[in-house]
Structure 1
């Protein structure tokens, strides 16, 4: 019988403790084995999208937890779902599918709760090569977390307890007799798929399966058999004996991020990842999970040379150590205008965070140099692509190539731009066309094409448009440039409203006066070539004296994505002008009349 959503899976039955577990396998059995454990009220089909991606590189194993899906249930149910018995099940599966090599364990929700037990008890030591946890804490760690906050209360700790207590409302209900069973076998079981679609934005497909009402009713014993006992008497030896990757959805409605504040003392080898998503990430973000799991498994599967068990190229010369590594490691990011200045600094900042960076620019040599620097700076991978952002067809071809070869980007930074100074009456139509083609149409092409891919994928993303303080700071010397950047700012605001429902954030970054080479290449309308060169040198010298580094803008870009900020003025003068534009626009208009001395 084929597994729903996994037509190529091989299914078998494994007997353990008086029950039979339904186990599905994909991929080459000679490759490293990855075991996926589902949560509540799911069955193994919750992993189908992730499993398909992982099967390209690994031997992937999924099984229905006892009492779920096509696995049989213990009799009686009471006492049949203890963590000790669930550990027996896991060892039976591991011994059957990978008898000679340790397995890489991945758990979500209650699958993660089980995984924490598996990776911290002595009898599984040597059988687990790595553990990836998402949306499910160790009950022992949780118990100690509660005790510390109740024994030494502070306003902050009390707030954390109350916050998690509110998020755990469903746990109390699941401990009530009979009521959960009646709800799941009745109206809740019928409405649950629609609830997931509306609230969690889980796409329709092979999940959930028809066994959901029965699975959820039986699965209530996971809570009843374990939660109160472990929270009252948590183990003091619950230290992980394998490396752990913690993936934390920042929008999880059931678990607070603060639950993991003390995790480092329990896990000697801990890698943290943070994802802007809700609870059911195996269904809403399978691409990102596939990338992170693959990278983590290969990191801990390879030999001393770090080559990786599946032969994947390990390109970075050193691991990601940037402050935003937990947010961006392994995520595909594309930066336009990446050959120099803010674009190059931004690409390198994402590289330091372990991202997979596409450095795009019409300067082929400069883009290649940035990509090489990204590899040396910690990027999981980096590529250079040549493109003129003002060319719509070229941008479409680039997007197709990037999606096919590297995957749909999670973050797009529309940075490419050119400078143009000079009075309006001296600015020709050709000058206007050049600056608008790059500064505005380049951003439009990027947002429409790459943003369209993000929307179609349905897994969220973020678009950063590099505008300018000139977008809200009028100047008689910059009519064309200011107009292009003001349009970018308003476009960003409009897109932010439109794409919010698709979990795609949009940010306009307004740097201000930054020491980049845009001043040396800026055009000056209404003057001859000699005068233009003189003004370019003088402007470049002034910007050099200001000496605000592009690296600070890059840091603001990454911070804006993490915080999903709307408009980000960067330099002090950009922030001051932004404030004045809101509280005293007349003062800015008065300043705009001053003739600049060049």
Structure 2
């Protein structure tokens, strides 16, 4: 283990309550102060990736909690880590680094637990401008949460208690005498970095620091001095007196999301975010944390009722807590499912890049995305089947907008006609767009996600035709079946890097693909007739693309693998698994054209 450097940090020492706290500062002291508080068994260096990113916009302050890192430990240890003494430490640091203005507080794990104390006690009023909490509830709120479920038990509440009780196994262990100290100063301290890499996908970048064994041994008293006392007698006045942003990692193995069910009653000015990640998000998701902290701090630093209201409700759409502030790229966004998907992400507060070979359609989608809620939206014109053009797009996106968090490979074309009537040129056109366009997107943008090392999600639009054979759609069905299998293979390969992959399989959806689909082996007049008839039939079915867009967002939020959307798509999917002979018999029927 080596020391994680905080490049350009200025160091000072703050004396308080018989200990000396090591404080590091980055950025311009004339800017708003963001104070980062680390958790257990960490030191301030857990924030290094976030801190260096925030320093471009803010005065960033980090300090080693007493007994951790380079800060000294209280003597004796017992009784030296109470929330009251930790609050004294916070006030001493805040007064030293920002004596005239309140600070924007950010806490992770036990840094968040103690920060909830800071933001709810009377003596800190006026010293905290905002609070961002992640992976650490208030012990008072937790105590009331437990009491509510024990005094008014239901099967659901009992299950919630049991679930969180299982996740809290380490709390019981830390209350045992001597054993935690021996473990951390012995084998556990040596193996901890490898454990974090394996279980949490924390990069092997020199973190944790050399002080880990003593940090963890001292930090056991955080639990012993506070947990049982507060859970037995939680404060009744633990109301936040500053705006709160709650960031919940959906894959946190230590904390249930249900812990925050009643949080609005304790924090009236609450903004919720959900992040598909494990517990140590300061190390695994620094870009997303930086974006959300910057947005929240900026809104409350600017002040004014309108700014505060907008920060408390960042976006009106579904899954806003999951996608607000993320960067989403949608191909085929000029119309139909692509446009509806771009709008759905925009309503959820995401930044949208609308890509289409129709420049006017892409521009219109970007313009409307901004109107429906996207904080930013851009239009890019490209033919997804053109590999060089896609490479230029990927390079431009990474340079000008950043690495995308969600990629939706939606662009596609339709082709109907028997196999014997389908020419090699017809096959090439369909495969170039429907398959190679998806391959280009996955390869270029998926590589950027993987190299960034902070996860992401890829959505590929397949079709019910991917698993429902048809004598009339050999080329189209083949292209979509290939997309489905590609998605399954990529999902297996990228899972270890925190990148999800979903295949969306719509059925008959009312979009303009029917009026532009080609029909092989027929005259131009007959093709136009069939296009009009197909469009009319799909119009009568009238399944809106907005429902497919809802399925896309839901698939990303839940990390679903294969998502049949329409009733006929779901029915065909079940038949493909349980009654494939019946599906093959249906495939022999002559289509009504």
| TM more than 0.5 | yes
Q: Give the Cα–Cα distance (whole angstroms) in 2 for the partners of residues 53 and 306 of structure 1.
A: 27
Contact 1:339–1:359 (CA<8 Å) still a contact in 2? yes
1:344-423 matched pairs, under 5 angstroms? 344-423=339-418
1:199-210 matched pairs, under 5 angstroms? 199-210=199-210
Contact 1:337–1:361 (CA<8 Å) still a contact in 2? yes
Deviations 1:415-434 (A, max 9, x none): 00011111111211111111
1:528 Cα offset (Å): 2.2
Secondary structure of 2:20's match?
strand
Matched with 1:311 is none
Secondary structure of 2:242's match?
coil
Secondary structure of 1:357's match?
strand
Matched with 2:42 is 42
Contact 1:13–1:23 (CA<8 Å) still a contact in 2? yes
Which moved further from structure 2: 176-185 or 225-234? 176-185
Matched with 2:462 is 467
Deviations 1:287-308 (A, max 9, x none): 1111111111112111449789
1:25 Cα offset (Å): 0.9
Matched with 2:521 is 526
Q: Give the Cα–Cα distance (whole angstroms) in 1 for the partners of residues 297 and 87 of structure 2.
A: 21
Matched with 2:115 is 115
Matched with 2:85 is 85
Instruction: Say if 2:411 is the partner of 1:449.
Output: no
Q: What is the root-mean-square deviation of aligned Cα atoms in Å?
A: 1.8
Matched with 2:23 is 23
Matched with 1:334 is 329
Q: Give the Cα–Cα distance (whole angstroms) in 1 for the partners of residues 99 and 152 of structure 2.
A: 46
Contact 1:3–1:9 (CA<8 Å) still a contact in 2? no
Matched with 1:312 is none
Instruction: Say if 2:75 is the partner of 1:75.
Output: yes
Deviations 1:220-258 (A, max 9, x none): 111111111111110000001111111111111111111
Point out where structure 1 has 5 or more consecutive residues left out of the alignment. Answer: 309-314
Contact 2:3–2:210 (CA<8 Å) still a contact in 1? no
Contact 1:5–1:206 (CA<8 Å) still a contact in 2? no
Q: Give the Cα–Cα distance (whole angstroms) in 2 for the partners of residues 477 and 17 of structure 1.
A: 80
Matched with 1:592 is 587
TM-score by length of 1: 0.96
Matched with 2:262 is 262
Q: Give the Cα–Cα distance (whole angstroms) in 1 for the partners of residues 129 and 397 of structure 2.
A: 32
Contact 1:329–1:354 (CA<8 Å) still a contact in 2? yes
Matched with 2:496 is 501
Contact 2:171–2:223 (CA<8 Å) still a contact in 1? yes
Contact 1:130–1:243 (CA<8 Å) still a contact in 2? yes
Contact 1:3–1:24 (CA<8 Å) still a contact in 2? no
1:3 Cα offset (Å): 8.1
Secondary structure of 1:506's match?
strand
Matched with 1:553 is 548
1:173 Cα offset (Å): 1.3
Secondary structure of 1:93's match?
helix
Matched with 1:221 is 221
Q: Give the Cα–Cα distance (whole angstroms) in 1 for the partners of residues 486 and 212 of structure 2.
A: 44
Deviations 1:127-146 (A, max 9, x none): 11111111000000000011
Secondary structure of 1:568's match?
strand
Secondary structure of 1:359's match?
strand
Secondary structure of 2:345's match?
helix
1:178-189 matched pairs, under 5 angstroms? 178-189=178-189
Point out where structure 2 has 5 or more consecutive residues left out of the alignment. Answer: none
Contact 1:28–1:59 (CA<8 Å) still a contact in 2? yes
Secondary structure of 1:75's match?
coil
Contact 1:418–1:438 (CA<8 Å) still a contact in 2? yes
1:206 Cα offset (Å): 3.3
Instruction: Say if 2:483 is the partner of 1:491.
Output: no
Contact 1:45–1:206 (CA<8 Å) still a contact in 2? no
Q: Give the Cα–Cα distance (whole angstroms) in 2 for the partners of residues 281 and 139 of structure 1.
A: 21
Matched with 1:245 is 245
Contact 2:3–2:207 (CA<8 Å) still a contact in 1? no
Q: Give the Cα–Cα distance (whole angstroms) in 1 for the partners of residues 118 and 206 of structure 2.
A: 28
Q: Give the Cα–Cα distance (whole angstroms) in 2 for the partners of residues 283 and 472 of structure 1.
A: 41
Q: Give the Cα–Cα distance (whole angstroms) in 2 for the partners of residues 55 and 112 of structure 1.
A: 21
Deviations 1:367-389 (A, max 9, x none): 11111111111112211111111
Q: Give the Cα–Cα distance (whole angstroms) in 2 for the partners of residues 376 and 343 of structure 1.
A: 17
1:466 Cα offset (Å): 0.3
